[in-house]
Amino acid sequence: MDSLWLIIIFGAILAGFVQGLSGSNFGLVAMALWAWAVPPALTGPLVVCGSLTGQLLA
C-alpha cells in the first residue's frame, strides 16, 4: 500500500478517536499529521468530510 494512504488512514483513525472522546478537534489532530505528507489541496476536503461524518454519526 502506498505510504500516503497509510498516513491518511492512520491520521483519520487517530483523529476519529480524539473526536469520539472530546466531541470535536478532528481537524486539529488530523492536520497535525497530514500537514507533513498530504498535499494541501487534499487536506482541506479530507478534514471537512471527516469532521462532518464524525458529527453526523455522533
pLDDT digit string, tens, across residues 21-53: 998 899 999 999 999 999 999 999 999 999 999
What's the CA gap between 29 and 12, in Å, rounded?
A: 9
**Average predicted confidence (pLDDT) for the chain:** 93
User: Phi-psi region for residue 25, left (φ > 0), alpha (ψ -120 to 50) or beta?
Assistant: left
In angstroms, what CA-CA distances link 49 with 1, 3, 10, 18? Answer: 22, 21, 16, 16
Could you give the CA distance from residue 29 to residue 14 in angstroms, rounded to a whole number?
Answer: 7
The total number of structural domains in the chain stands at 1
Domain that holds residue 25: 3-57
